[in-house]
Amino acid sequence: MRALLQRVSEASVQVDGQVIGQTGPGLLILICAMQGDDVSTAQKLAQKIVKTRIFKDEAGKMNRALPDSGASALVVSQFTLAADTSRGNRPGFSAAAAPDEGRALYHEFCAALQALNIHVETGEFGADMQVHLINDGPVTIWMDTQAG
């Protein structure tokens, strides 16, 4: 799976002009299931994200993880994270999981975060969404479970 984490002051996602998910201080997580990913991949990625220390402590250092900060997460599916730009000018997305598999792994990832006591709001898998955010820092972290 691939994830792009953005530490945010606030973020929201809209479908057809209606806000369907939002967070105050926390993480906006853009997520993409890749071919070969499975339930254990989603669970391991959720655990890694929850333990990643990117929130400020009293001294202003990035020393707190998501649970320590009391923050929440807005999780938005984004198959374009699978983009292959190695050939030509049009990205290819064949490395992304098939839509039904991607949807199942997206929901499994969200459930895994919730099982780790993180408040999670979501976008709508496969929908045309508008994402609004205020990146805090800015702090943006790329994670790819297939990269090692």
Active-site residue identified among 55, 79, 109, 125: 79
Dist. CA 137–CA 99, nearest whole Å: 33
3-state helix, strand, coil in the chain (%, to 5): 30, 40, 30
pTM of the model: 0.95
Active-site residue identified among 6, 78, 122, 145: 78
**Ranges of each domain in the chain:** 2-147
Among 1.10.1840.10, 3.50.80.10, 3.40.640.10, 1.20.120.1200, what is the CATH number of 2-147? 3.50.80.10
Q: What is the pLDDT of residue 148?
A: 62
Positions of the chain with pLDDT under 50: none
Active-site residue identified among 80, 93, 130, 146: 80
Parallel, antiparallel or unpaired: strands 120-122 and 72-77: parallel
> Is there a catalytic annotation at residue 79?
yes
> Is there a catalytic annotation at residue 52?
no
Measured torsion, CA atoms of residues 48, 53, 54, 60, in degrees rounded to the nearest 10: 180
> Is there a catalytic annotation at residue 146?
no
Interval 32-73: pLDDT, tens: 999 999 999 999 999 999 999 999 999 999 999 999 998 999
Query: CB of 7 within 8 A of CB of 54?
Result: yes
For the packed helices 39-51 and 99-115, what is the interaxial angle rounded to 10 degrees?
40
Dist. CA 2–CA 30, nearest whole Å: 8
